Amino acid sequence: MKHGILYRFLVRWFVCSLGLWIAAGLLSSHITIRTSGSHLGAVLVAGLVLALINAIIRPILVLLSLPAILISLGLFMVIINGLTVWLASHFYSGLEISNFWGAILAGIIIGLVNYLVTAILESRKA
C-alpha cells in the first residue's frame, strides 16, 4: 500500500522526535531540550524542526557534498546528519547542543533510530 507524502512526513517527524529524545537521554552532557511547559511538546517541536530541515535543506547538502560522500564511501553522511542536528538547534532555541561533536553523536543516534523504525515498518508490510 502506498502512503502519501503527509504520512511519510509524519513518520519522519515521529522518528526525528524519538531520536532526539533518546539522544538527549543518552548524551545529556551534550544535548539539552529546554522546556517552558511540556517536555513532550518541546521534543515534538524540536523533532518538527529537524524533520523540516531533513526534508528541505538536507537534500541540498547531500547534492553539494556528493564528491565527499563518494570519496568517503558514504561516511561523510555522518557529518551531514550532525550538521542537520546542529542547524535544528540554531533554528529552535529549545534544543541546545554543546558542540558539533555532540551534534554528530546525536545524528548517529537519530540515524540508528531511523533505521530501526524503518526496519520495523517494512517488516509489518511483508
Global pTM reads: 0.90
Provide the residue count of the chain.
126
Report, as an integer, the average pLDDT of 12-38: 90
pLDDT of residue 126: 63
Percent of the chain with pLDDT over 70: 98
pLDDT of residue 81: 95
Cα distances from 123 to residues 110, 120, 126, in angstroms, run 20, 5, 5
Report, as an integer, the average pLDDT of 15-21: 95
Q: Is the pLDDT of residue 3 over 80?
A: no
Cβ-in-10-Å burial (0-12, 13-18, 19+) of 93 comes to exposed
Amino acid, res. 9: F
- Kindly report the CA angle at 117 between 21 and 22, in degrees rounded to 5? 15
The per-residue pLDDT for range 78-120, each reduced to its tens digit, is 999 999 999 999 999 999 999 999 999 999 999 999 999 988 8
pLDDT of residue 72: 97
Does residue 104 contact residue 81 with C-beta atoms inside 8 Å? Answer: yes
Mean pLDDT (the chain, rounded)? 92
